[in-house]
Structure 1
């Protein structure tokens, strides 16, 4: 299979209709307890590999959190990307379901080399869409745009739901399902690369 490689990486996405470039990811800060005040939404922490999908006139590319082109490793996902857009940058995790139906990192490592057809991309943010830089938008507006692009449900490209309400109750509920923890995000926050206090990670 022929894989086109984007050679140059930068910290900002071009929005002039040309080739898009990798954006370093926003990273959550580890905390002991999830925030309990208002204005936060919560997502399951997935035990996978942070990945960015870039769709532009050069095709579909998948990048690791450090900006390495991993399209060849994730080729079944790349082939499955058929979204109603001309250009987009999606932030998410590549996972594979373990025996309990939850993301499983050791199984993921083995699947990359032996069973790549089991790989799934779970999208939780969108940074660019058809010439528009969405990074300055509030999180919930970006999530709304993402949900219109990626229909919730099964498949190679999935949408990561978020939850509102009692953060500790959500954390306990996720623990029962075998997930590692919860990522809490400010609902009104823009997307900013690097370590962030508007994204918080709490584990059990």
Structure 2
């Protein structure tokens, strides 16, 4: 039995969401990979893969674990994202579950930080120095363990490129920042916008607050979207107000006497953040013809 303890899981740093990318040269910018946040730990007993909450998913990610054990180090802790890459390298989140179940060899681990290597805790080093150490470790890997490339400065241009490629967004990291567990604005994420059509279930109007539309997609509640109501839009929607209970599936937290429910089939175009389970920072662009 070994007397040396195994390396322990470190709670990951969580980037704060912002609506515009930082533009100063003090930041590194990376693609935001659409997958599952994962920590790979290698120590004397081998490698293991842990979820963002520390659950061991080594069996699901066995090819990644096997590849990590071939990297030239005695021990390390890597922070990154497990993705299901398409042939062009783009992450395809919709393929994640089937590959985890049937084709784990078609997954990849994109490493974007290193917290520990060969007995040294690296978290106090500047981010740009940790990236250099990470590159030195990961560069010999072939395909299944990848390095997250970055650019320094030029946040607005990087965001424009990410949006043009149809990716989820970007993560920006202060060049000289240490690694701190938990939410921190030394890392920020900027998501790209999407525009799509939704069903408008009802209007929530409260004094002193912006009017909110309660939206659904494919019959399922999707979240709120703010509305700047014009007089014509308001008159048109008031003709569709109905009495009665809210539609099924709408959370109680968003229902109440201040909500006016609409008759079915009111469609609306909504701008919202890409890659979210529910509408976030959404705004209703216009009501569509019935």
Q: TM-score, normalised by structure 1?
A: 0.88
Counterpart in the other structure of 2:50: 63
- After superposition, where does 1:70-149 map in structure 2 within 5 Å? 70-81=57-68, 82-98=70-86, 101-149=89-137
Q: Provide, for residues 129-178 of structure 1, a one-character-per-residue CA deviation record: whole Å limited to 9, x for no partner.
A: 00100011110110010010000775111100111232111011112222
Matching residue within 146, 164, 172 for 1:184: 172
Distance (whole Å) between structure 1 residues aligned to residue 72 and residue 81 of structure 2: 21
Tell me the distance in 1 between the aligned counterparts of 2:36 and 2:74: 25
Question: Deviation of residue 98 (structure 1)?
Answer: 2.9
CA distance in 2, matches of 1:107, 1:62: 19
Q: Deviations over 1:61-88 (max 9, x none)?
A: 0000000000011001111121111010
Partner of 2:158: 170
Shift in Å at residue 48 of structure 1? 0.6
- Point out where structure 1 has 5 or more consecutive residues left out of the alignment: 1-15
SS for the counterpart of 1:62 is: strand
Q: Which has the larger radius of gyration?
A: 2
The total of aligned residue pairs comes to 189
Return structure 1 stretches of 4+ with deviation > 6 angstroms.
none
Quick one: distance in 2 between partners of 1:52 and 1:153? 17
Whether the aligned pair in 2 keeps the contact of 1:98 and 1:107 (CA below 8 Å) is: no
1-structure distance, mates of 2:140, 2:47 = 21
Other structure's SS at 1:47 match: coil
Deviations 1:101-131 (A, max 9, x none): 4101111122111211101000000000001
Which of 132, 156, 177 pairs up with 2:144? 156
Supply the distance in 1 between the matched residues of 2:131 and 2:35 (Cα, whole angstroms): 20
Cα 1:80–1:189 change in 2 (3 A) is same
Are the equivalent residues in 1 in contact too, given 2:26–2:153 (CA < 8 A)? no
| Aligned Cα root-mean-square deviation (Å) | 1.6
